[in-house]
Structure 1
Amino acid sequence: MSAQPSIRRILVNLVAFQLGWLACVLGGAHQLPWLGVGVVVLVAALHLATSPERGSEARLLVLIALMGALWDGLLARFGFLVYPSGMLLPWLAPVWIIAIWVAFATTLNVSLAWLQGRWYLAFTIGALGAPLAYYAGAKLGGVHFPDPVVALAVLGGGWSFLMPASLALAARLARTATAHDTTERLVTEEGTDA
């Protein structure tokens, strides 16, 4: 993996994620689903502009967005969650939820990088933290739980896997990018030595 991010970058990443999350939830709650998407586009652009490994980070954002689109889409499709706006297809998460997943992906190698390799902690944070985030979203009007106990249990169970899986994917993509950069540098050095 690349060098650890600076404290400044971690703080900017945390604040950007929180702003993106809040814009998405409030936009979704007030029939303005594209508002949060616009904010997250800015969050992702800032993230990629400050990332030392833009290519692998861009791939990570896309893969996590796809995972989230399917996961939250399934939860909505099976009636665990009801979203007030932004559903384009019945089996796909609302656009603003997909944007939250993109914002989440920006944290995996920055403000959540400390969790990589700490799988039990990632499991626990996923199992407890995600239901709390969805619950907060419900209190703001971004989601409704027909059966809150079941919905929160399903969310906790799913996120106990999704959090470690997301971190593992982020670490793998970062390692691949670092290995590629090292190989490219060695080839360049050999070419100049000849």
Structure 2
Amino acid sequence: MIQSDTVRNTINFVLFQAGWFACVLYPGLPAVGFVLLLIGFHLAFISQHRMAELQFIGAGAVIGGVLDGVWFQTGILDDGTGSVELTPVWLIGLWAIFMTTLSHSLSWINSRAWLPFVCAPFAGPFAYWSASKLGAVELPDQTMSLVALAVGWLIVFPALLYLRKFLYPELAR
């Protein structure tokens, strides 16, 4: 296990970015396999509480997958075919790799209680907008989609931090 917080956080950030780009540029099972390898590396070399973090990653992937599923069902997001019945597996992979950042490279967001409420409504929709520009998803009505995504992230991001703090306190620093 890597001892330096700075090195762990830097590697975590790089792993997340690699996973995000893999999923967005090559949405499908191969990208998810790559993300699983990245998460395995993360758990082996970065995580200090492997089982708790694995559970937290799983919980967040389910919560995020359900949220994305709602967005697909309501037309906030589209995959270009208009026929998504379940959340695409690559988006669940994205949620899983994102969850690794909450106790590492994004742990700074807990420094002020208001930060998650200010950052999430912008950062979350920006990620989906970026993915739409790279062709991974579509925002059928861009304004409505971005507003809905902002509201969703305003709720889910602080909820994930709350979940971590109270169910997995060893992960909260």
TM-score by length of 1: 0.80
Change (3 A) 1:177 1:137: closer
Q: Does 1:18 align with 2:13?
A: no
Residues 126, 160 of structure 1: 8 Å contact kept: yes
- Correspondence 1:21-170 to 2 at 5 A: 21-28=20-27, 33-50=28-45, 51-84=47-80, 90=85, 92-116=86-110, 118-170=112-164
Provide, for residues 125-163 of structure 1, a one-character-per-residue CA deviation record: whole Å limited to 9, x for no partner: 110011111111000001111100000000001101111
SS in structure 2 opposite 1:13? helix
Q: Structure 2: how far apart are the matches of 1:114 and 1:73?
A: 29
Deviation of the 1:175 alpha carbon: 1.7
CA-atom RMSD in angstroms: 2.0
Identity %: 37
Name the structure 1 match of 2:166. 172
TM-score by length of 2: 0.90
Q: Which of these two proteins has the greater Rg computed from alpha carbons?
A: 1
Change (3 A) 1:145 1:46: same
Q: Structure 2: how far apart are the matches of 1:110 and 1:84?
A: 34
Deviation of the 1:48 alpha carbon: 1.0
Unaligned residue ranges in structure 1 (runs of 5+): 179-194
Which amino acid in the other structure matches residue 8 of structure 2? R
Q: Structure 2: how far apart are the matches of 1:176 and 1:7?
A: 18
Deviation of the 1:118 alpha carbon: 2.6
Which amino acid in the other structure matches residue 43 of structure 1? L
SS in structure 1 opposite 2:43? helix
Name the structure 2 match of 1:184. none
Residues 108, 167 of structure 1: 8 Å contact kept: yes
**TM superposition outliers: structure 1 runs of 4+ over 3 Å:** none
Deviation of the 1:73 alpha carbon: 0.3
